[in-house]
Structure 1
Amino acid sequence: MATPDISRLKIERGAPAQVQGQRFKRRRWIKIAVVVIVIGVGGKVAMGQFGGKASVETVTVAQTYPAQSYTLLNATGYVVAQRKAALSSKATGRLEWLGVLEGSKVKKDEVIARLENRDVSASLGLAQANIKVAQANLEQGQAELLDAQANFKRTAELLNQKFITASAYDTAQARLNKAKANISGYNAGIAAARANAQSAQVALDQTVIRAPFDGVILTKSANVGDNITPFSSAADSKGAVVTIADMDTLEVEADVSESNLSKIRVDQPTEILLDAFPELHLAGTVSRMVPTMDRSKATLLVKVRFIDRDPRVLPDMSAKVAFLSKAVPPEDKQAVTAVQATALATRDGKTVVFVVDGDKVRQVAVTQGRKIGELVELKGVKPGDKLVMSPDAKLHDGAPVNLAKK
């Protein structure tokens, strides 16, 4: 076997030094790049702090009511009418006339609707005619009574003169007694006829639907031509014709948690806010508390009566009730301008705020008022203004700013 020639195999002694040099150069360039980046970022930061726009957070000036400081508890509920009725008729028949629409205002005993009543009206006419018949019978009986009385008087005189027998006298006496008895029967007949007429009148009145109290028509459930059957569920028939509510008895029913019942009492002052009219704040008072708990929700139903009334309040509106520690005085019923206390700053001994105006801030002197919850009453700014929150001591009037993204 031939021996291999290894004379041409050599080790390059200078290679490691060359590789190390290349690595050193690469590391040096990396360090230079890092330094350049750091300097650039630092420059941008420095520009942002000293020569650029400061990044600030803002709060918005709002309108609030001082009554919030009296609030012990808030609850939600709905407006309901304490006096409300679904009107129908005890009679069964076809609706012949309907004189109201939704929203119609009616007075007590005003006719709202009428059922077809010709048959009942005819029965009433017959009963009234029977009264006249009974009265005519009474008049005839009274005439017979007068004749019997006169005949008895003559018979008594003839008996005294012995011109007639005793049996003739007895016959005259019997006739008189019969005439008197007939008068009692005729009077009873008149009473019975009048009772029948009254019954027919009641039946006729039951075909007429009247308002039981002053109120407003909420819903209309039937139309002219519908069959009204209040005491049955016959097909294609209606029960109630209209629903009426007394708007003077509107109140709010609110559910109060069992754990907060210690904060509620009867006659406690409240403030009612309607979701439909957020600017409307109405005074109220706790009228009563239903003496039973709702086991499923662990709440008690509290009924709040309106003290301040507004024609825009309607049944079934959503409402919020603030239970107050005391009644709101007149001066606290108006909304005031307020903002979070963190927006306030002091410059030259004065209380100021910084209003964001475009990309700059405007220093505004304000007058600080009372504290309302977490807000502070301010004068000198208007609702909707955006103020710098927690302004830096270096922030000054006219300084450019950027709004921080939340």
Structure 2
Amino acid sequence: MTAPDISKLKIERGATAPLRRPKPWKWLALGAVAVGIIAVFAGRGAGKVDVETVTVAHAWPSQEYTLLNATGYVVAQRKAALSSKATGRLEWLGVLEGSRVKAGEVVARLENRDVSANLGQVEANVKVARANLEQGLAEQADAQQAFNRAQELLAQKFIAASSFDAAQARLNKAKAAVAAQRAAIAAAEASARAARVAVDQTEIRAPFDGVILTKNANVGDNITPFSSAADSKGAVVTIADMDTLEVEADVSESSLAKITAEQPVEIQLDAFPELRLAGVVSRMVPTLDRSKATLLVKVRFNDRDPRVLPDMSAKVAFLSKPVPEPDRKPVTAVQPAAIVQRDGKPALFVVAGEQARLRPVRTGRKVGELVEVSGVKPGDKVVLAPSEKLKDGAAVAAAKK
């Protein structure tokens, strides 16, 4: 076998393509763009003064009278879980959460066809007993007349003594029958009262004027007095007398010397921070909680507000004296370090956007750690401890804490 001839095999080496290099003007353009970007980021914030800011707030002059602060919850002094002494299925429910009811008003009713039928039966028995009494009274009247005639005839010797004795026995029997019939009426009426009570026990009534707080059962639920059966409910609704709302606050044992009965207080609700309500110390529970070393103090509202609801969180400020009416309103206040003197007058640097604007203000009394001011509004941000070099309209940036 002849070996292949590989002498003619070769690789064609053509001219290689020249390497393309970017033109110099493109490098210059890219460099200019990069420099511009760097200049923008480097210039951002250039010339701005780093300042610390605070917020203008509401301050309450009443804190000047505060001796002690405590926290607690709003509770209803008069509150009840309404149920029934009877056992049955809830047939009707006439209230919802938030419904206002009057004392004695029916709020729910159980099925009562059986007890109503029993009531009808015993009331019929009362009527039967009364009819029997009428008949007995008629018999007694007839026996009395017969006895009177027999007595006259015996005196005239017209009848024998045995006839008189028979008339007297008949009268005595009639009187005994009337007495028995009166007793039967009393028994029937007692049964009727018991039946009416049984019917009344199927109706759940409000024990006092109040507001329905919770609805614990629905129509069709089985109701038992103490919810002892499976799949049954005890209380149908919970009611509270909103006129008896008060605050229960825990006070440290070491602070009890600052509290007395009928001491004025100011109540602040967490749900409405701007609402301050006047009150007094109603009573102090005469025992301490050993585990927390606190005493339960109950505070009564002087000011009624419909927004106050049971179980709201509240703060109680125990005061040295009642707050005067002018001091019961909040004032605008700011930290003293934010106030500067410009041209001999007090002023604030209000931060608007990224600029500090000089705004003249009028200062008033000191309220706690703040100073009352006018000319700004709560929520404005102002510069804290501005330097003498800070000017109106200067660019500022909030310093990071």
TM tier, smaller: 0.7 to 0.9
Q: 2:248 aligns with which of 230, 249, 253?
A: 253
Q: Deviations 1:69-102 (Å, cap 9, x if unpaired)? A: 1111111111111111111110011111111111
Q: 1:52 to 1:231 in 2, by over 3 A?
A: closer
In 1: Cα distance, 2:275 partner to 2:172 partner? 82
In 1: Cα distance, 2:352 partner to 2:230 partner? 69
Checking the alignment, whether the CA contact within 8 Å between 2:67 and 2:318 is kept in structure 1 is yes
1:368 maps to 2:363: yes
Which stretches in structure 2 are left out of the alignment for 5+ residues? 1-44
Q: 1:67 aligns with which of 62, 71, 78?
A: 62
SS in 2 for 1:198: helix
In 2: Cα distance, 1:210 partner to 1:355 partner? 62
Q: 1:207 to 1:53 in 2, by over 3 A?
A: closer
Checking the alignment, whether the CA contact within 8 Å between 2:277 and 2:302 is kept in structure 1 is yes
Could you say which residue in structure 1 is the equivalent of 2:182?
187
* RMSD (CA atoms): 1.9
Could you say which residue in structure 1 is the equivalent of 2:171?
176
1:212 maps to 2:181: no
Q: 1:366 to 1:229 in 2, by over 3 A?
A: same
In 2: Cα distance, 1:216 partner to 1:397 partner? 58
1:114 maps to 2:116: no
SS in 1 for 2:260: coil
Q: Deviations 1:45-92 (Å, cap 9, x if unpaired)? A: xxx9xx955443222211121112111111111111111111111001
Shift of 1:207: 0.7
SS in 2 for 1:383: coil
Q: Deviations 1:13-33 (Å, cap 9, x if unpaired)? A: xxxxxxxxxxxxxxxxxxxxx
Shift of 1:397: 3.3
Could you say which residue in structure 2 is the equivalent of 1:15?
none
Identity of aligned residues (%): 74
Could you say which residue in structure 2 is the equivalent of 1:283?
278
Checking the alignment, whether the CA contact within 8 Å between 2:49 and 2:397 is kept in structure 1 is yes
1:83 maps to 2:85: no
Could you say which residue in structure 1 is the equivalent of 2:339?
344
SS in 2 for 1:163: coil
SS in 1 for 2:273: strand
TM-score of the superposition, structure 2-length normalised? 0.85
Tell me the number of residue pairs that the alignment of Structure 1 and Structure 2 aligns.
Answer: 357
Shift of 1:277: 1.5
SS in 1 for 2:104: coil
In 2: Cα distance, 1:62 partner to 1:397 partner? 23
* Residue identity opposite 1:147 in structure 2: D
Shift of 1:177: 2.2
In 1: Cα distance, 2:360 partner to 2:255 partner? 42
In 1: Cα distance, 2:84 partner to 2:355 partner? 73
Shift of 1:262: 1.3
* Residue identity opposite 1:304 in structure 2: V
In 1: Cα distance, 2:109 partner to 2:284 partner? 40
* Residue identity opposite 1:194 in structure 2: E
SS in 2 for 1:57: strand
Bigger CA drift: 271-280 or 121-130? 271-280
SS in 2 for 1:355: strand
TM-score of the superposition, structure 1-length normalised? 0.84
Could you say which residue in structure 1 is the equivalent of 2:162?
167
Could you say which residue in structure 1 is the equivalent of 2:330?
335
SS in 1 for 2:109: strand
Shift of 1:113: 1.0
SS in 1 for 2:97: coil
Q: 1:143 to 1:402 in 2, by over 3 A?
A: closer
Could you say which residue in structure 1 is the equivalent of 2:28?
none
Shift of 1:399: 4.1
In 2: Cα distance, 1:183 partner to 1:56 partner? 106
Q: 1:387 aligns with which of 373, 382, 386?
A: 382
Q: Map 1:221-232 to 2 at 5 A.
A: 221-232=216-227
Could you say which residue in structure 1 is the equivalent of 2:8?
none
Q: 1:240 aligns with which of 235, 240, 256?
A: 235
Q: 1:358 to 1:95 in 2, by over 3 A?
A: closer
In 2: Cα distance, 1:310 partner to 1:139 partner? 63
In 2: Cα distance, 1:356 partner to 1:171 partner? 121
Bigger CA drift: 178-187 or 388-397? 388-397
SS in 1 for 2:305: coil
Q: Deviations 1:126-173 (Å, cap 9, x if unpaired)? A: 111111111111111111111111111111111111111222222222
* Residue identity opposite 1:183 in structure 2: V
Could you say which residue in structure 1 is the equivalent of 2:398?
403
In 2: Cα distance, 1:173 partner to 1:120 partner? 46
In 2: Cα distance, 1:237 partner to 1:54 partner? 71
Q: Deviations 1:332-390 (Å, cap 9, x if unpaired)? A: 22211001111222233322222233444332222111111101111112112222222
In 2: Cα distance, 1:400 partner to 1:168 partner? 134
SS in 1 for 2:250: strand
1:143 maps to 2:127: no
Checking the alignment, whether the CA contact within 8 Å between 2:227 and 2:233 is kept in structure 1 is no
* Residue identity opposite 2:223 in structure 1: I
Could you say which residue in structure 1 is the equivalent of 2:269?
274
In 2: Cα distance, 1:403 partner to 1:276 partner? 31
Shift of 1:222: 1.2
Q: Deviations 1:164-193 (Å, cap 9, x if unpaired)? A: 122222222222222222222211111111
Which stretches in structure 1 are left out of the alignment for 5+ residues? 1-47
